[in-house]
Amino acid sequence: MIRWLQKLYYPIQAGHYRLEKHSIGLTLAIIFAAMIGGFVEIAPLFTIDETVEEAPDMRLYTPLEQAGRDIYIREGCYACHSQMIRTLVDEVDRYGAYSLAVESKYDHPMLWGSKRTGPDLARLGGKYSDDWHVAHLIDPRAVVPESVMPHYAFLAQRRLETESLPARLAALGKVGVPYDAAMIENAERDARGQANPDSDDAGGVAERYGEATQIRPFDGDTARLTEMDALVAYLQILGKLTDAASRIETAAIEADMEAAQ
């Protein structure tokens, strides 16, 4: 065995002895050796259909929610909050049904996170009231005394910049999110309308993004469209773009019960 290995080894060493005299050869060998793994693991994710589940009910982020998502990214919320419930029983008990790939299909970039200094937010939508979110963002320790979260009171004062929303939606369209021309064209109106149900702009939001779209003054004030409106709108949609996860969970529970019978 050892002798056999030695026989194998000497030509390798002799080959290497030659290779390390050639800088370009070494360069090509490094690139080749280092690219195999990445290619094998990443390329099939784009081609194998089962990688991302089908969810016909999956809806897009509205312009206001996307603006909120951009604020979430800007403030680095992902550094402390994950958006990925793992397939572990305690996580499902704590946060809800485990996350599916399809749920972040339109997330450019994904915000799965890597550290939970704060809790997971994948299914935060609808768990707390808008008022709770606003109060918590303005002063986290007024709501949760032990919290170490930074306060974001300035969001309630800052006007939401909507002028660039059409361009932002168009860019997302170019990388594969199916925003149509009307959505891009009306992005600013829809952002205003979603936070002001009594205005003329509100009707178009439900028309373009579905009747289930949450249309209300998220920061409690219809007079101004603030960054707080956008961020709370985003937090309230987390986990609610599709019902696929709860459908799969219900089906699994039913299958378990049938098996038990």
Site for other proteins, residues 172 to 201, rule: CB under 8 A = 172, 174-177
Nearest to 137 by CA among 38, 228, 21, 201: 228
Contacts with other proteins in 13-42 (CB under 8 A)?
13, 16-17, 20-21, 23-24, 26-27, 30-31, 33-38, 40-42
Q: Which one of residues 58, 59, 110, 188 is an interface residue with other proteins (CB under 8 A)?
A: 110
Contacts with other proteins in 116-135 (CB under 8 A)?
116-120
Q: What is the 3-state secondary structure (H, E, C) of 58-105?
A: CCCCCHHHHHHHHHHHHCCHHHCCCCCCCCCHHHHHHHCCCCCHHHHC
CB-nearer residue toward other proteins: 59 or 216:
59
Spatial contact of 91 and 85, defined as CB atoms under 8 Å apart: yes
Tell me the three state secondary structure of residue 226: strand
| Stretch touching other proteins by CB under 8 A, among 77-85, 178-186, 188-196, 248-256 | 77-85
x/- map, 133-172, other proteins, by CB under 8 A: -------xx--x-xxxxx-x-x---------x--xx-xxx
Which phi and psi (to 5°) does residue 75 adopt?
Answer: -85, 0
Contacts with other proteins in 227-246 (CB under 8 A)?
none
Can you say how many angstroms the Cα of residue 250 is from the centroid of all Cα atoms in its chain?
A: 23
